[in-house]
Protein backbone atom coordinates (compact mmCIF):
# COMPACT_ATOMS: atom_id res chain seq x y z
CA UNK A 1 0.00 0.00 0.00
CA UNK A 2 1.20 3.52 -0.80
CA UNK A 3 2.36 5.55 2.18
CA UNK A 4 0.04 8.47 1.42
CA UNK A 5 -3.05 6.46 0.41
CA UNK A 6 -6.22 6.90 2.49
CA UNK A 7 -7.02 3.57 4.15
CA UNK A 8 -10.60 2.68 5.08
CA UNK A 9 -11.26 0.29 7.96
CA UNK A 10 -14.37 -1.78 8.40
CA UNK A 11 -15.33 -2.94 11.86
CA UNK A 12 -16.73 -6.46 11.96
CA UNK A 13 -18.57 -6.47 15.27
CA UNK A 14 -20.30 -3.58 17.05
CA UNK A 15 -18.20 -4.35 20.09
CA UNK A 16 -17.16 -2.77 23.36
CA UNK A 17 -13.44 -3.09 22.64
CA UNK A 18 -13.80 -1.22 19.36
CA UNK A 19 -15.80 1.52 21.08
CA UNK A 20 -13.51 1.83 24.10
CA UNK A 21 -10.10 1.49 22.43
CA UNK A 22 -9.82 0.55 18.79
CA UNK A 23 -11.79 3.24 16.95
CA UNK A 24 -9.61 5.85 18.64
CA UNK A 25 -6.46 3.85 17.96
CA UNK A 26 -7.31 3.61 14.23
CA UNK A 27 -8.20 7.28 14.00
CA UNK A 28 -4.89 8.14 15.66
CA UNK A 29 -3.10 6.90 12.50
CA UNK A 30 -2.48 9.44 9.77
CA UNK A 31 -4.53 8.59 6.68
CA UNK A 32 -6.64 5.90 8.34
CA UNK A 33 -10.37 6.17 9.00
CA UNK A 34 -13.13 3.87 10.23
CA UNK A 35 -15.56 3.90 7.31
CA UNK A 36 -18.01 1.09 8.09
CA UNK A 37 -19.33 -1.23 10.76
CA UNK A 38 -21.12 -4.57 10.40
CA UNK A 39 -23.36 -6.03 13.07
CA UNK A 40 -25.74 -8.98 12.99
CA UNK A 41 -28.46 -6.47 13.85
CA UNK A 42 -29.32 -3.56 11.53
CA UNK A 43 -30.49 -1.46 14.47
CA UNK A 44 -27.25 -2.03 16.40
CA UNK A 45 -25.15 -1.25 13.31
CA UNK A 46 -27.03 2.00 12.73
CA UNK A 47 -26.88 3.08 16.38
CA UNK A 48 -23.19 2.23 16.63
CA UNK A 49 -22.37 4.04 13.39
CA UNK A 50 -24.27 7.13 14.50
CA UNK A 51 -22.69 7.15 17.94
CA UNK A 52 -19.14 6.82 16.60
CA UNK A 53 -19.44 8.92 13.44
CA UNK A 54 -19.00 5.97 11.05
CA UNK A 55 -20.33 6.50 7.52
CA UNK A 56 -21.38 2.94 6.61
CA UNK A 57 -23.58 0.59 8.66
CA UNK A 58 -24.29 -2.96 7.50
CA UNK A 59 -26.36 -5.81 8.89
CA UNK A 60 -24.13 -8.49 7.34
CA UNK A 61 -20.41 -9.05 6.98
CA UNK A 62 -20.57 -9.76 3.25
CA UNK A 63 -22.12 -6.33 2.67
CA UNK A 64 -19.24 -4.67 4.51
CA UNK A 65 -16.72 -6.74 2.57
CA UNK A 66 -18.32 -5.62 -0.69
CA UNK A 67 -17.84 -1.94 0.24
CA UNK A 68 -14.97 -0.60 -1.93
CA UNK A 69 -14.15 1.98 0.75
CA UNK A 70 -13.01 -0.84 3.06
CA UNK A 71 -9.42 -2.06 2.63
CA UNK A 72 -8.80 -3.36 6.13
CA UNK A 73 -11.05 -5.09 8.65
CA UNK A 74 -10.84 -5.21 12.41
CA UNK A 75 -12.69 -8.27 13.72
CA UNK A 76 -13.97 -8.06 17.29
CA UNK A 77 -17.03 -10.27 17.33
CA UNK A 78 -17.38 -13.12 19.80
CA UNK A 79 -14.71 -15.75 19.37
CA UNK A 80 -16.65 -18.46 17.53
CA UNK A 81 -17.23 -16.05 14.63
CA UNK A 82 -13.63 -15.03 14.00
CA UNK A 83 -12.76 -18.01 11.79
CA UNK A 84 -15.36 -17.54 9.06
CA UNK A 85 -15.03 -13.76 9.16
CA UNK A 86 -11.24 -13.84 8.72
CA UNK A 87 -11.52 -16.32 5.88
CA UNK A 88 -14.22 -14.25 4.15
CA UNK A 89 -12.21 -11.05 4.60
CA UNK A 90 -9.09 -12.67 3.13
CA UNK A 91 -11.10 -13.99 0.19
CA UNK A 92 -12.24 -10.39 -0.44
CA UNK A 93 -8.65 -9.18 -0.40
CA UNK A 94 -9.00 -7.24 2.86
CA UNK A 95 -6.16 -7.05 5.35
CA UNK A 96 -7.16 -8.40 8.77
CA UNK A 97 -6.56 -7.39 12.36
CA UNK A 98 -8.35 -10.05 14.41
CA UNK A 99 -9.08 -10.25 18.10
CA UNK A 100 -7.83 -13.00 20.34
CA UNK A 101 -8.42 -15.83 20.81
CA UNK A 102 -8.22 -16.28 17.05
CA UNK A 103 -10.57 -19.27 17.14
CA UNK A 104 -11.85 -22.05 19.36
CA UNK A 105 -9.47 -24.71 18.07
CA UNK A 106 -6.04 -24.82 16.49
CA UNK A 107 -7.09 -26.26 13.18
CA UNK A 108 -9.35 -23.27 12.57
CA UNK A 109 -6.68 -20.79 13.68
CA UNK A 110 -4.11 -22.33 11.36
CA UNK A 111 -6.64 -22.29 8.53
CA UNK A 112 -7.18 -18.54 9.10
CA UNK A 113 -3.45 -17.84 8.92
CA UNK A 114 -3.12 -19.89 5.73
CA UNK A 115 -6.13 -18.17 4.14
CA UNK A 116 -4.55 -14.75 4.72
CA UNK A 117 -1.16 -15.89 3.46
CA UNK A 118 -2.71 -17.44 0.34
CA UNK A 119 -4.67 -14.25 -0.34
CA UNK A 120 -1.57 -12.11 0.16
CA UNK A 121 -3.15 -9.98 2.89
CA UNK A 122 -1.58 -8.91 6.16
CA UNK A 123 -2.95 -10.67 9.23
CA UNK A 124 -2.37 -9.64 12.84
CA UNK A 125 -3.67 -10.67 16.24
CA UNK A 126 -4.67 -7.94 18.68
CA UNK A 127 -2.44 -8.94 21.60
CA UNK A 128 -2.17 -5.44 23.07
CA UNK A 129 0.25 -6.18 25.93
CA UNK A 130 3.22 -6.55 23.57
CA UNK A 131 2.78 -2.90 22.80
CA UNK A 132 3.03 -1.71 26.40
CA UNK A 133 6.14 0.33 27.20
CA UNK A 134 6.44 -1.72 30.40
CA UNK A 135 6.48 -5.12 28.69
CA UNK A 136 8.83 -3.88 25.98
CA UNK A 137 11.22 -2.67 28.68
CA UNK A 138 10.95 -5.96 30.58
CA UNK A 139 11.71 -7.85 27.37
CA UNK A 140 14.72 -5.63 26.70
CA UNK A 141 16.06 -6.27 30.21
CA UNK A 142 15.48 -10.02 30.10
CA UNK A 143 16.81 -10.56 26.59
CA UNK A 144 19.70 -8.14 27.24
CA UNK A 145 20.96 -10.31 30.08
CA UNK A 146 20.12 -8.00 33.01
CA UNK A 147 18.80 -10.87 35.14
CA UNK A 148 21.17 -13.57 33.93
CA UNK A 149 19.49 -16.80 32.95
CA UNK A 150 15.70 -16.47 33.32
CA UNK A 151 14.41 -19.39 35.42
CA UNK A 152 10.91 -18.48 36.60
CA UNK A 153 8.04 -16.17 35.71
CA UNK A 154 4.95 -15.25 37.68
CA UNK A 155 1.96 -13.59 36.07
CA UNK A 156 -0.71 -11.90 38.19
CA UNK A 157 -3.72 -11.24 35.99
CA UNK A 158 -6.63 -11.88 38.33
CA UNK A 159 -9.12 -9.02 38.00
CA UNK A 160 -12.82 -8.30 38.30
CA UNK A 161 -14.79 -8.55 35.07
CA UNK A 162 -16.68 -5.24 34.82
CA UNK A 163 -20.48 -5.62 34.90
CA UNK A 164 -20.89 -4.37 31.31
CA UNK A 165 -18.71 -7.30 30.12
CA UNK A 166 -20.50 -9.96 32.17
CA UNK A 167 -22.15 -11.54 29.13
CA UNK A 168 -20.87 -14.28 26.78
CA UNK A 169 -17.53 -14.52 28.65
CA UNK A 170 -19.26 -16.12 31.62
CA UNK A 171 -22.18 -18.04 30.16
CA UNK A 172 -21.50 -19.01 26.53
CA UNK A 173 -19.07 -21.87 26.05
CA UNK A 174 -19.96 -21.92 22.34
CA UNK A 175 -18.75 -18.31 22.02
CA UNK A 176 -15.37 -19.18 23.55
CA UNK A 177 -16.13 -17.87 27.02
CA UNK A 178 -14.11 -18.54 30.16
CA UNK A 179 -11.13 -16.80 31.71
CA UNK A 180 -8.52 -19.03 30.05
CA UNK A 181 -9.44 -18.12 26.47
CA UNK A 182 -9.99 -14.53 27.56
CA UNK A 183 -7.02 -13.75 29.81
CA UNK A 184 -4.56 -16.66 29.94
CA UNK A 185 -4.24 -16.34 26.17
CA UNK A 186 -2.80 -12.83 26.72
CA UNK A 187 -0.43 -14.11 29.41
CA UNK A 188 0.85 -16.75 27.02
CA UNK A 189 1.53 -14.16 24.34
CA UNK A 190 3.18 -11.76 26.76
CA UNK A 191 5.50 -14.44 28.13
CA UNK A 192 6.46 -15.57 24.61
CA UNK A 193 7.19 -11.94 23.74
CA UNK A 194 9.27 -11.23 26.82
CA UNK A 195 11.16 -14.51 26.93
CA UNK A 196 11.60 -15.28 23.24
CA UNK A 197 10.76 -18.87 24.20
CA UNK A 198 7.89 -21.26 23.48
CA UNK A 199 5.61 -22.90 26.05
CA UNK A 200 5.82 -26.68 25.75
CA UNK A 201 3.63 -28.09 28.53
CA UNK A 202 0.92 -27.04 30.94
CA UNK A 203 -0.75 -28.08 34.18
CA UNK A 204 -3.56 -26.22 35.89
CA UNK A 205 -6.57 -26.04 38.11
CA UNK A 206 -9.57 -23.86 37.38
CA UNK A 207 -12.45 -22.58 39.42
CA UNK A 208 -16.06 -21.58 38.84
CA UNK A 209 -16.53 -19.44 41.91
CA UNK A 210 -19.28 -16.93 41.32
CA UNK A 211 -19.65 -15.40 37.87
CA UNK A 212 -19.13 -18.25 35.40
CA UNK A 213 -21.89 -20.69 34.48
CA UNK A 214 -22.52 -23.45 31.97
CA UNK A 215 -19.29 -25.24 32.83
CA UNK A 216 -17.08 -22.22 32.19
CA UNK A 217 -14.29 -21.19 34.56
CA UNK A 218 -13.87 -17.75 36.14
CA UNK A 219 -10.49 -18.37 37.74
CA UNK A 220 -7.40 -20.42 37.04
CA UNK A 221 -3.92 -21.11 38.32
CA UNK A 222 -1.66 -22.76 35.77
CA UNK A 223 1.98 -23.62 35.37
CA UNK A 224 3.77 -23.65 32.01
CA UNK A 225 7.16 -25.04 31.13
CA UNK A 226 9.00 -23.29 28.28
CA UNK A 227 11.44 -24.77 25.79
CA UNK A 228 14.33 -22.94 27.49
CA UNK A 229 13.51 -24.70 30.78
CA UNK A 230 11.80 -21.71 32.40
CA UNK A 231 8.73 -22.46 34.54
CA UNK A 232 5.93 -19.88 34.66
CA UNK A 233 2.99 -19.55 37.00
CA UNK A 234 -0.21 -17.81 35.87
CA UNK A 235 -3.08 -16.59 38.04
CA UNK A 236 -6.06 -15.31 36.07
CA UNK A 237 -9.57 -14.52 37.24
CA UNK A 238 -12.75 -12.53 36.59
CA UNK A 239 -13.75 -12.54 40.24
CA UNK A 240 -11.27 -10.65 42.43
CA UNK A 241 -11.43 -6.85 42.49
CA UNK A 242 -8.43 -6.09 44.67
CA UNK A 243 -5.63 -8.50 43.73
CA UNK A 244 -3.66 -6.08 41.55
CA UNK A 245 -1.78 -7.16 38.44
CA UNK A 246 1.84 -7.77 37.62
CA UNK A 247 4.51 -9.89 36.03
CA UNK A 248 7.82 -11.04 37.47
CA UNK A 249 10.74 -12.69 35.68
CA UNK A 250 13.32 -14.19 38.01
CA UNK A 251 16.80 -15.05 36.78
CA UNK A 252 19.94 -16.40 38.42
CA UNK A 253 21.47 -12.87 38.49
CA UNK A 254 18.42 -10.69 39.11
CA UNK A 255 14.69 -10.18 38.96
CA UNK A 256 12.59 -7.83 36.87
CA UNK A 257 9.22 -6.89 38.26
CA UNK A 258 6.34 -5.19 36.49
CA UNK A 259 3.63 -3.82 38.76
CA UNK A 260 0.15 -2.95 37.53
CA UNK A 261 1.13 -3.94 34.00
CA UNK A 262 -1.43 -6.57 32.95
CA UNK A 263 -3.85 -3.88 31.85
CA UNK A 264 -5.26 -2.12 28.82
CA UNK A 265 -4.08 1.25 30.11
CA UNK A 266 -0.62 2.81 29.57
CA UNK A 267 0.35 2.59 33.23
CA UNK A 268 2.54 0.54 35.56
CA UNK A 269 6.08 0.39 36.88
CA UNK A 270 9.16 -1.67 36.13
CA UNK A 271 11.69 -2.52 38.85
CA UNK A 272 15.04 -4.26 38.53
CA UNK A 273 16.47 -6.02 41.56
CA UNK A 274 19.95 -7.52 41.62
CA UNK A 275 23.23 -7.50 43.57
CA UNK A 276 23.30 -3.67 43.28
CA UNK A 277 19.90 -3.31 44.97
CA UNK A 278 16.50 -2.35 43.63
CA UNK A 279 15.78 0.52 41.26
CA UNK A 280 12.90 1.76 39.15
CA UNK A 281 13.48 1.51 35.40
CA UNK A 282 11.99 4.47 33.52
CA UNK A 283 9.46 3.82 30.78
CA UNK A 284 7.65 6.21 28.46
CA UNK A 285 4.02 5.16 28.45
CA UNK A 286 1.94 5.33 25.29
CA UNK A 287 -1.41 3.88 24.16
CA UNK A 288 -1.01 0.12 23.74
CA UNK A 289 -3.74 -0.05 21.12
CA UNK A 290 -2.54 2.93 19.07
CA UNK A 291 0.97 1.49 19.01
CA UNK A 292 -0.40 -1.91 17.96
CA UNK A 293 -2.42 -0.37 15.14
CA UNK A 294 0.61 1.72 14.09
CA UNK A 295 2.67 -1.47 13.75
CA UNK A 296 -0.10 -3.06 11.70
CA UNK A 297 -0.30 0.02 9.45
CA UNK A 298 3.46 -0.10 8.93
CA UNK A 299 3.13 -3.75 7.90
CA UNK A 300 0.48 -2.70 5.35
CA UNK A 301 3.11 -0.40 3.85
CA UNK A 302 5.53 -3.31 3.68
CA UNK A 303 7.52 -2.11 6.71
CA UNK A 304 8.08 -5.15 8.90
CA UNK A 305 5.61 -7.41 10.67
CA UNK A 306 2.70 -6.49 12.95
CA UNK A 307 3.54 -6.62 16.68
CA UNK A 308 1.64 -9.91 16.98
CA UNK A 309 1.16 -11.85 13.75
CA UNK A 310 -1.47 -14.43 12.93
CA UNK A 311 1.04 -17.11 13.88
CA UNK A 312 1.50 -15.47 17.28
CA UNK A 313 -2.26 -15.81 17.69
CA UNK A 314 -2.01 -19.51 16.87
CA UNK A 315 0.74 -19.95 19.49
CA UNK A 316 -1.14 -18.15 22.28
CA UNK A 317 -4.26 -20.16 21.45
CA UNK A 318 -2.28 -23.42 21.53
CA UNK A 319 -1.10 -22.55 25.03
CA UNK A 320 -4.54 -21.52 26.26
CA UNK A 321 -6.09 -24.71 24.88
CA UNK A 322 -3.41 -26.77 26.64
CA UNK A 323 -4.33 -25.05 29.93
CA UNK A 324 -8.04 -25.73 29.32
CA UNK A 325 -7.27 -29.38 28.70
CA UNK A 326 -4.92 -29.64 31.69
CA UNK A 327 -7.63 -28.22 33.96
CA UNK A 328 -10.29 -30.49 32.49
CA UNK A 329 -8.27 -33.68 32.77
CA UNK A 330 -6.08 -32.93 35.78
CA UNK A 331 -3.08 -34.03 33.76
CA UNK A 332 0.04 -32.51 32.26
CA UNK A 333 -0.69 -31.46 28.67
CA UNK A 334 1.77 -30.84 25.86
CA UNK A 335 1.31 -27.54 24.04
CA UNK A 336 0.81 -28.27 20.34
CA UNK A 337 4.14 -27.76 18.59
CA UNK A 338 5.07 -24.74 16.54
CA UNK A 339 3.63 -24.72 13.02
CA UNK A 340 1.51 -22.38 11.00
P1 LIG B 1 -18.83 -7.38 23.19
O2 LIG B 1 -19.70 -8.29 23.94
O3 LIG B 1 -18.86 -5.92 23.51
O4 LIG B 1 -19.06 -7.51 21.63
C5 LIG B 1 -19.07 -8.77 20.97
C6 LIG B 1 -20.29 -8.90 20.11
O7 LIG B 1 -21.43 -8.89 20.95
C8 LIG B 1 -20.48 -7.75 19.15
O9 LIG B 1 -19.84 -8.03 17.94
C10 LIG B 1 -21.98 -7.64 19.02
O11 LIG B 1 -22.47 -8.38 17.92
C12 LIG B 1 -22.52 -8.32 20.26
N13 LIG B 1 -23.19 -7.30 21.09
C14 LIG B 1 -22.65 -6.18 21.59
N15 LIG B 1 -23.57 -5.49 22.28
C16 LIG B 1 -24.70 -6.20 22.21
C17 LIG B 1 -26.00 -6.04 22.71
N18 LIG B 1 -26.33 -4.96 23.43
N19 LIG B 1 -26.92 -7.00 22.45
C20 LIG B 1 -26.60 -8.08 21.74
N21 LIG B 1 -25.37 -8.27 21.23
C22 LIG B 1 -24.45 -7.36 21.46
O23 LIG B 1 -17.36 -7.99 23.32
P24 LIG B 1 -15.94 -7.36 23.61
O25 LIG B 1 -15.75 -6.07 22.91
O26 LIG B 1 -15.68 -7.36 25.04
O27 LIG B 1 -14.99 -8.48 22.92
C28 LIG B 1 -15.04 -8.68 21.52
C29 LIG B 1 -13.79 -9.44 21.07
O30 LIG B 1 -12.65 -8.68 21.42
C31 LIG B 1 -13.59 -10.82 21.71
O32 LIG B 1 -12.94 -11.64 20.77
C33 LIG B 1 -12.64 -10.52 22.87
O34 LIG B 1 -11.87 -11.65 23.23
C35 LIG B 1 -11.77 -9.43 22.27
N36 LIG B 1 -11.22 -8.49 23.26
C37 LIG B 1 -9.89 -8.19 23.16
C38 LIG B 1 -9.31 -7.29 24.01
C39 LIG B 1 -7.88 -6.93 23.83
O40 LIG B 1 -7.37 -6.13 24.59
N41 LIG B 1 -7.18 -7.45 22.86
C42 LIG B 1 -10.08 -6.65 25.09
C43 LIG B 1 -11.50 -6.98 25.05
C44 LIG B 1 -12.02 -7.88 24.16
P45 LIG B 1 -22.84 -7.66 16.56
O46 LIG B 1 -21.55 -7.25 15.99
O47 LIG B 1 -23.54 -8.72 15.78
O48 LIG B 1 -23.67 -6.50 16.90
| Positive or negative: CA dihedral 108, 112, 115, 117 | negative
Residue 58 Cα to ligand 1 middle (Å): 16
Q: How far apart are CA 188 and CA 198, in angstroms?
A: 9
Q: What integer pLDDT is reported at residue 340 of this predicted model?
A: 47
> pLDDT tens across 28-71, in order?
999 999 999 999 999 999 999 999 999 999 999 999 999 999 99
Please report the pLDDT score of residue 338 as a whole number: 75
For the stretch 116-172, pLDDT in tens is: 999 999 999 999 999 999 999 999 999 999 999 999 999 999 999 999 999 999 999
Q: What is the pTM of this model?
A: 0.97
For ligand 1, what atom is nearest to the CA of residue 12?
A: 46
Nearest atom within ligand 1 for CA of residue 17: 25
| Residue closest to 72 by CA, chosen among 28, 39, 27, 121 | 121
**H/E element holding 237?**
strand 231-237
CA of residue 15 to ligand 1 center, whole Å: 4
Q: How far is CA 180 from CA 45, 208, 264, in A?
A: 30, 12, 17
Looking from the CA of residue 38, the nearest atom of ligand 1 is 46
The pLDDT of residue 1:
62
Beta carbons of 28 and 287 less than 8 angstroms apart: yes
Strands 199-207 and 150-158: unpaired
Query: Which residues form the pocket of ligand 1, taking CB atoms under 6 Å from any ligand atom?
Result: 13-17, 39-41, 44, 76-79, 99-100, 126, 128, 165, 167, 182, 264
What pLDDT digit, counting tens, does each position of 256-282 carry?
A: 999 999 999 999 999 999 999 999 999
Q: Who's near 219: CB < 8 A, 6+ residues apart?
A: 158, 179, 206, 207, 208, 209, 236, 237, 238, 239, 240
Amino acid sequence: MEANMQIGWGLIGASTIAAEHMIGAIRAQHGHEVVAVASSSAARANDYAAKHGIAGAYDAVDKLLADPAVQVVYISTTNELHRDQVIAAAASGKHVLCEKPLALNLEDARHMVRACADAGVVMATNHHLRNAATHRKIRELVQGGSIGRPLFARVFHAVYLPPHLQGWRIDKPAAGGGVILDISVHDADTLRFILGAEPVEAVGMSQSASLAREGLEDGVMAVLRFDNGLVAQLHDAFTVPFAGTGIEIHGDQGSVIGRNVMTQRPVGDVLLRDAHGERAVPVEHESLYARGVAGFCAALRGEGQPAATGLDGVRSLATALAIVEACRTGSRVRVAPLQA
